[in-house]
Amino acid sequence: MSNLGYEDELRSERSYVAGLYARLDAERARVKGEYNAALRGNGGTPVERDVEVRALAKAAKRLDVADNGLCFGRLDAISGEHSYIGRIGLFDEENEYEPVLLDWRAPASRAFYVATAATPENMRRRRQFHTRGRQVVDFTDEVLGRPGGGERGDAALLAAVNAPRGDGMRDIVATIQAEQDKIIRLDHPGVLVIEGGPGTGKTVVALHRVAYLLYTQRERMERHGVLVVGPNSAFLNHIGRVLPSLGESDVVFMTTGDLVPGLRVAAEDTPEAARLKGSLKILDVLAAAVADRQRLPEHPLPIELADVTVRIDAETAEWAREEARASGLPHNEARAVFTEIVTYVLTERAIARIGRGWLTRADREAWEQLRADLLKELAQNDKFSAALDELWPVLTPETLLAPLYMSPERLRAAGADLALLRADGDAWTVSDVPLLDELVDLLGRDKSADQAAEQERQAEAEYAAGVLDILQMDRKDLMDDEDHLLAQDLLYAEDLADRFLERDTRELVERAAADRDWTYRHVVVDEAQELSEMDWRVLMRRCPSRSFTVVGDLAQRRSVAGATSWDTMLEPYVPGRWVYRSLSVNYRTPAEIMTVAAALLAEFAPALKPPESVRACGVQPWSRRVTGDELPAAIEEFVRDEAGREGTSVVIGPPGVPGTVPASETKGLEFDAVLVVEPERILADGPRGAAELYVALTRATQRLGVLHRDPLPRALTGLVEMGPNRYPMSSVDRGLVLGWRD
């Protein structure tokens, strides 16, 4: 295409995209007007108005996020027709709702991502726009179906992967590749496992898959929402913009430590304690710990009543315990069975002693009255209540687990390893979360508290119903010109009753995050190789339909309780209902850095193949040996140098080194420049030190440096060694690193 022809095409595309923005603005104004009208309450019941307001608010939010990068390309078919692809779909209402912009998730948009010269999908050309704000800056054409015909498939992709990193993860709707698109659109109702090495885009592919599922199955999924589970809060902040930028807001982001609402996780387990808690064998420990709190009295417990003293002996308590356990109810609910048996025995004994001289079996009425009096007296007897609390206490997960951790005797009674012993039972860890969640079901609810709340709700509902009865006067007694007064009264009554129903007006995300019993329609699990067997039990409870997108890399597993294979974790829950897909192309890590990381991977996981980098950056990763005294200044020099550059940087090191963060906190994140400090100590830090170092080495998109005090580990000898008095970062960009010598 000549320069003149290109400029004409560019003006035409700018005009078309400007027209799309005009339609977007008009649609936004229409929705905003309807939203304001709904807020004013024009017609409908309060419930109907609330539903309408929520729906219009969501529609407005989707239109707002479309403003940035509304249209990112055009697809030309062999037939001569062409389609524009964008963030949302727009239609020409005056022309039988002809699409003027296709949503990237629509089936008709698929060719934009999968068409190649070898398989053109009946397409002739793919045009990709480079935009700034609402303006089309330029475009790149790829000719399809004509080998050697000027195809430029990497232009937009390489521009995206080479761009400096910002604070959060970006969406990839303009540069989705065929390998990724197949996974995003995969029609599978069960569990999809996406495995890929560093930089393969597995996380962003999983998030785009969620957006695709919400688009194709919105009615089914939107009511319950989607849960995204990540390794830490920094990672969730990093990815948290992707789905909102695609117009999807009914998504809850959590770490595994957030899965029990209201729990504060502030401590860290030893590797051995984490391993024990992560294994399914801990289920037997929890069941035994609950059973251990269902006690028998060592000596009979006296209960003094008005006319007689009765005793709860071991035989009575054992019978009651057997009946309660046989009921199959959770511990707190089974307490009612235990109480019923004990109460029966005590009343029978009391009746026999009280009525021995004057009450006959024939005097049924007196007999029943005595029984009722005794039952009432027992229910109000403090010693009887205390005895029940001693023998069958009402427990919460916290009041069971904290004392267990603090008591060697209780741990032994439950068959637990003493590695679980700790001084502060309430110092909750991430590994405690699935145990506490499991205990919610083992213990059950406290029925007495639930009954009190229900009685209060019923009283409020009865009050509201009474107001309605007062206001609903007989129409026969009203004149025609007074009908409007009746309508106003009834509307007021409906509003009043509606308020007493205490409708939950929180957004779905707020309600779901605060409700342990909330179930999601779909769950995304990132860094899934770190999850234990017990973690998976929690997540399976959160999604009864077993609809998951699981993302991970077994080579990066650090947790001793994590996955060694996917089938070990998933087959017990979804036998035959999970599929595996892999991503093999590294879009983030340049070949120079990946060569170093691959050498490490070959040592600690030789069976795993590293992803193939799609690009080279021309900058060799380097290493520099320093003394302990020189280390702080070298770190400061790196930080100062990177502060003057565009993009992001991080210093990763072993625990305890000032100015560094552990590799575990950078999982899933990416930075333009990375400095790894003392890799020899990272390797020595526990059984998964090699995986930790592998994560650290693969966070950089442009520049990687290593500072070491001891000799470099053998796997890192491919780094370019710098002299003791030379800091190379200022010369890296000039491509002089290889020439540095002492």
Contact at 8 Å (CB) between 52 and 38?
Answer: yes
Residue 203 is assigned to a ligand binding site = yes
Q: Is 201 annotated as a binding residue?
A: yes
Amino acid letter, residue 631: L
| Residue 328 labelled as part of a binding site | no
Please check if 196 is assigned to a binding site: yes
200 labelled ligand-binding: yes
Radius of gyration of the chain (CA): 34
Using alpha carbons only, give the angle 686, 691, 693 rounded to the nearest 5 degrees: 90
Taking each helix axis from N to C end, the angle separating 447-471 and 483-500, rounded to the nearest 10 degrees, works out to 170
Answer for the pair 495, 503: CB distance below 8 angstroms, yes or no: no
Residue 511 neighbours by CB distance under 10 Å = 14
Contact, 303 vs 408, CB < 8 A? no
Q: How many Cα atoms are found within 13 Å in the side-chain-facing hemisphere of 649?
A: 23
CB-CB neighbours of 605 under 10 Å: 17
For residue 652, give the amino acid letter.
I
Residue type, 216: T
H helix intervals, 74-201: 111-114, 155-162, 178-184
Contact 111, 123 (CB under 8 A): yes
Give residue 383's identity as a one-letter amino acid code: K
Beta strands in 592-677 (DSSP E): 612-613, 622-625, 649-652, 671-677
Rounded CA gap, 56 and 54, in Å?
Answer: 6
CB 151 within 8 A of CB 142: yes
What's the number of CA atoms in the CB half-sphere (13 Å) around residue 111? 24
Query: Residue 139 and residue 620: Cα distance in Å, rounded?
Result: 32
Q: Tell me how far apart the alpha carbons of residues 385 and 330 are, in angstroms, rounded to a whole number.
A: 20
10 Å Cβ neighbour count for 313?
14
* Three-class secondary structure of residue 663 per DSSP: helix
In degrees, to the nearest 5, what angle opens at C-alpha 202 toward C-alphas 198 and 208? 150
What is the rounded CA–CA span in Å between residue 223 and residue 520?
A: 9
674 in Cβ contact with 165 (< 8 Å): no
Q: Is 271 annotated as a binding residue?
A: no
Q: Is 281 annotated as a binding residue?
A: no
- Residue list for the binding site for ATP: 196-203
- Binding site listing: 196-203
